[in-house]
Structure formats: C-alpha cells, structure tokens
Amino acid sequence: MGFILWLIVGGVLGWVASMIMGTNDKQGIFLNVVVGIVGAFIGGLLLAPLFGTGTINAGDFSIGSLLVSLVGAVILLAIVNFFRKRRRRV
C-alpha cells in the first residue's frame, strides 16, 4: 500500500510542480509521476538535510517533507527547461 501512496503523492507533486513551472501542457501523467518522484529524491539529497525534514521517498508524508519534495520537483523542471531552451537555440 505504501508504494501506491508513494506513486500517487509523487504524481500530485509532479503535477503541481509542472503547473508552477508552466510545463503542464507538455507532459502527461506518467512524466508528472516521474518528475514528482525524482524531484523528491533531489529534494531529499539537497534540501532535506538543510531543513531537517524527510522526503516522501523515506515514507515521511509531513508538510515539511511534501514541501521539500515539491521544491525538488520544481528544481528538476527548471534544469530540464534550461537544457531544452539551450538545445533549441543551437
């Protein structure tokens, strides 16, 4: 049951991050889930130690861990958008 909850929360966080970054029309539900989970991983590596929270990858579904995971997903989308724009110019 934890795995299914992890996928659902990852998908919601990826969807919210894609709306924040304006890429919601370019991705489907599968990419939203991937962005949410990978973003949670990035947030866990970079931000969780700074703020002393867990992430959804560790099974911690507190407000702090959800925010850290969301910020990680936004960072991931910012990096992807940077390389997409850079590739179009070349």
| Rounded mean pLDDT, 45-73 | 82
Q: Which has more pLDDT, 68 or 26?
A: 68
Q: Bigger pLDDT: 59 or 83?
A: 83
pLDDT per position as a tens digit, 20-52: 988 877 777 788 888 888 888 888 888 888 888
Instruction: Name, in order, each residue with C-beta under 8 angstroms of 39's C-beta and a sequence gap of 6 or more.
Output: 13, 14, 17, 69, 70, 71, 72, 73, 74, 75, 76, 77
Domain spans, the chain? 2-85
| pLDDT at residue 41 in the model | 83
